[in-house]
Amino acid sequence: MKIASGLLVAALLVVAALSAAAAPKTFTGIISDDICVRGDHSHMRMGPTDAECAIACVSAHDAAYVLYDGKNYYKLIGRQALEKFAGHKVKVTGELDEKTQTIRMDSIASTD
């Protein structure tokens, strides 16, 4: 009986830890692309603005949109259209996979 109770408690602790790890978080930063993650596209010259260059990098060079927070960048996955946010400061809510540095987005909104 004690062994079964101990296993049950251990299983509940594991479930609680996994549930806490999957909680959505909020991230802020600039939407860029994974070629120019810091949002500075001056060396690429793919467009006159950082936003146009990020869009061009994604469409012409198969780059992916990322969120750059000033220190780290995160790959973004979700069903939201990111093109309209390119070059803009945004707030993203979602789950971070720390191993792959990928945010599975629930929502995105411009903050500028």
The per-residue pLDDT for 42 is 64
Residue ranges of domains in the chain = 24-110
Question: Percentage of residues in the chain with pLDDT exceeding 90?
Answer: 53
For residues 2-19, one letter each, b for 16 or more C-beta atoms within 10 angstroms of the residue's C-beta and e for the rest, the string is: eeeeeeeeeeeeeeeeee
Task: Tell me: pLDDT of 74 over 80.
Answer: yes
**CATH no. for 24-110:** 2.40.50
Mean pLDDT for the chain overall: 84
The per-residue pLDDT for 50 is 84
